[in-house]
Amino acid sequence: MKISIITAVYNAEPTVAHAIQSVARQTYHDVEHLIVEGQSTDASLAVIQKAAHDRMTVHSGIDAGIYDALNKGIALTTGAVVGVVHADDYLAGDGVLDRIAAAFADPGVEAVFGDLDYVAPDDTGRVIRHWRAGAYHPRLLQRGWMPPHPTLYLRRSVFDRIGVYDTAFRISADYDFVLRYFSQTAAAPVYIDDVLVKMRVGGASNRSLRNLFRKSREDYAALRRNNVGGLGALVQKNMCKLPQFITRRATSV
């Protein structure tokens, strides 16, 4: 079973090699790694080419943002399962894809996800926040639950059925997509109770107060659009982040 990994890159010169290397080191070998590079103004493309591995292809061209780039990547995938490794993130251990593939050995499984650690950008061994997703139940969506998007792997057929990321959302297209999928599916997802991905703090949604307000507006719009909830779910979504700063577990797969 081939797993397709998409990495969207724009001006990620300091971190993209680490993301690529984390895929190259995987002990599961039936993998294709699609780099969708948005014609960066820094040396990202040169770094990508230097870090290239034999399961990787690079597609460089102007895009309309990260979600447009991910959609381009999805269209190019040939694997049965699709996941994302962002240019600022990396897989938490060499066996991550082995565990994901094992979960998808059951043909009834459409989605697999796990936990995520937010780490300091200058010291990735220091965990700032530990996001334990926990097992899924439909009622959790109305309480603001979502799996860490970078840990979510889906069968390619899911995108064929429900569509891709809505680029009208500039920050919350991943949340909109998660709500769209989990509110419609009858298939039970598999939760891997371990850290699958490490993410450096300082993502686009948290870079400014303006972005935080925009994200809240977009999250609320996604909740309403998918008939999942409203203001109460949005408040709970934000409040459930607080314990993540207290419970920090350094784990690797």
CATH code for the domain of 148:
3.90.550.10
* Distance in angstroms (rounded) separating the CA atoms of residues 205 and 220: 15
In a domain, 252, yes or no: no
Query: 241, 200, 239, 237: which is closest to 222 by C-alpha?
Result: 237
Question: Could you give the C-alpha distances from 226 to 182, 193, 222, in angstroms and in order?
Answer: 10, 27, 6
Q: Residue 33's pLDDT is what?
A: 98
The alpha carbon dihedral of 16, 93, 123, 249 has a sign of: positive
How much is the pLDDT for 253? 46
Q: Do the domain assignments include residue 134?
A: yes
**CA 168 – CA 68 distance, rounded (Å):** 10
Q: Which amino acid is at 175?
A: Y
At residue 178, the pLDDT reads 97
- Which of 192, 187, 3 is CA-nearest to residue 103? 192
* Full domain range(s) for residue 120: 3-245
Three-state secondary-structure class, residue 193:
strand
What's the pLDDT at 10? 98
**Does 250 map to a domain?**
no
Residues 8, 10: Cα–Cα separation, whole Å: 7
- Residues of the chain short of pLDDT 70, as ranges, are 203-209, 239, 242-244, 247-253
Degrees, nearest 5: CA angle 143-140-240: 50
Residue 187 lies in a domain: yes
- Per the domain annotation, does 232 fall within a domain? yes
What 3-state class would DSSP assign to 203? coil
Residue 170 in any domain: the answer is: yes
d(CA 94, CA 107): 24
| Those residues with Cβ within 8 angstroms of residue 46's Cβ, 6 or more apart along the chain or in another chain | none
- CA–CA separation, 231 vs 155, rounded Å? 31
E strand segments, 61-167: 81-84, 89-91, 111-120, 123-131, 153-155
Which pLDDT score is estimated for 235? Answer: 83
- Condensed to tens digits (0 to 9), the pLDDT of residues 65-84 reads 999 999 999 999 999 999 99
Q: Which residue shows structure tokens 């998409």?
A: 6
**Quick one: DSSP state of residue 14?**
T
Residue 152 CA: distances (Å) to CA of 20, 110, 192, 202, 241 = 18, 10, 10, 20, 18
In a domain, 113, yes or no: yes
Look at residue 247 in the predicted model and tell me its pLDDT.
56
Q: How far apart are CA 129 and CA 115, in angstroms?
A: 11
Is there a domain that residue 27 lies in? Answer: yes
Give the pLDDT score at 204: 55
Domains contained in the chain, number: 1
pLDDT digit string, tens, across residues 148-157: 999 999 999 9
Tell me how far apart the alpha carbons of residues 92 and 86 are, in angstroms, rounded to a whole number: 13
Return the amino acid letter for 227.
Answer: N
